[in-house]
Structure 1
Amino acid sequence: MREEWDRASYYAGGVVSTPALRIDTASPADYDRIADLTVRTYIDGGLASPGYAAELADVAGRARKAELLVLRGEGDRVVGSVALVLQGDFGEVTESDDDAGVRMLVVDPSAQGRGLGKMLMTECLERSRAAGKRRMVLSTGSRMTAAQRLYERLGFTRVPERDWTPVPGVDLLVYSLYL
């Protein structure tokens, strides 16, 4: 589904200055850009260790487990991405068929701070509601403070009893939102 984001300023609180944004499902032609963007943002941004780079770059693997969404800017350039989990489990996020989840939300560092992450998350929430899900669940790294602030502004609450450590030294915080 290709959706023009004429209402971008609504979702971004009036901050987005580029009206030509749209969210659609990623195609295999997008995978290299998503991989580069994700690895660069997470690793270079100090949000993940270099040992996690291979998983961050495995966009085709994510697309097999989730609906991979992209946010496109001018010239069809991918400026953001997120994996929306509506069925099954991907990364120990969901607990039941009533849950949806998100993984690996990323926005190009040059476009951060303009509400683009909020646009992607709002789309995930809308699609989850349309799919009949009752709760959105996600994990985020303890160092991802900007993401944590975004989730809290959207109404997510911490679920500390579900926090987990996939590998030593990587502590993931769990948030949820009843839809």
Structure 2
Amino acid sequence: MSDISVRPARVDELPAIGALTIAAYRADGYLPESGDPTGYAATLSDADSRMRSAELLVAVDTTGTLLGTVTIALPGTPYAEISREGELEFRMLAVSTRARNRGVGETLVRAVFTRARELALPTIVLCSSRTMSTAHRLYERLGFRRLPDRDWRPGPEVELLAYAAPVPTS
């Protein structure tokens, strides 16, 4: 993972970030190949709004190639879904299909922990679709535990599971 770094996204990268996010969700079967009955693809592809209303991070390799992205939101902001005071929330974690199995997802989640420490926030929360079992394994390995009382349904066909993890002090 030493060849992967995480930094804030740049404006010139926004179209590529949106495309990477859509491609990652489609590759894992979380979005249909055509059509979008929920409208979520438009949200995923709108990296410009995420950059303006939240923190948008990217993982890159030593050549600057985009490998993945994650959106970080504070409670009460437009991209926050379940966070409360004292919690940092992350959403839309996506790894390029070409960069899978290189630790990119873990590196991005660890960057979220770093950001929470910088903001002196003791807890990180997230929501994940019930079907995202690969992501769930990563989250649990990194110390996230289920918060069933915060599970919710943004639509009749989608159930989101809530997770939380304490932020290590170092």
Tell me which residue corresponds to 2:63.
Answer: 75
Q: Residues 18-57 of structure 1: CA distance to partner in whole angstroms, max 9, x if unpaired?
A: x432111001111111111111111242123533211111
Q: Residues 57-91 of structure 1: CA distance to partner in whole angstroms, max 9, x if unpaired?
A: 11111112211000012421111000112453324
- The separation in 1 between residues aligned to 2:17 and 2:82, in whole angstroms, is 21
Q: How does 1:11-90 map to 2 (within 5 A)?
A: 19-49=2-32, 50=36, 51-86=39-74, 88-89=76-77, 90=79
TM-score by length of 2: 0.88
Conservation of the 8 A alpha-carbon contact between 2:4 and 2:104: no
Conservation of the 8 A alpha-carbon contact between 1:142 and 1:171: yes
Q: Does 1:116 align with 2:104?
A: yes
TM-score by length of 1: 0.84
* Residue 128 (structure 1) aligned to one of 116, 119, 126: 116
Conservation of the 8 A alpha-carbon contact between 1:139 and 1:174: yes
Calculate the aligned-residue CA RMSD, in Å. 1.4
Q: Does 1:95 align with 2:84?
A: yes
- The separation in 1 between residues aligned to 2:131 and 2:157, in whole angstroms, is 12
Conservation of the 8 A alpha-carbon contact between 1:21 and 1:73: yes
Structure 1 gaps, min length 5: 1-7, 9-18
Tell me which residue corresponds to 2:160.
Answer: 172
Tell me which residue corresponds to 1:4.
Answer: none
Conservation of the 8 A alpha-carbon contact between 1:66 and 1:87: no
- The separation in 2 between residues aligned to 1:85 and 1:91, in whole angstroms, is 5
Q: Which 4+ runs in 1 deviate beyond 2 A?
A: 48-51, 86-89
Tell me the SS of whatever aligns to 2:105. helix
- The separation in 1 between residues aligned to 2:123 and 2:53, in whole angstroms, is 18
* Residue 149 (structure 2) aligned to one of 130, 148, 161: 161
Percent sequence identity over matched residues?
36
Structure 2 gaps, min length 5: none
Conservation of the 8 A alpha-carbon contact between 2:74 and 2:83: no
- The separation in 1 between residues aligned to 2:27 and 2:107, in whole angstroms, is 23
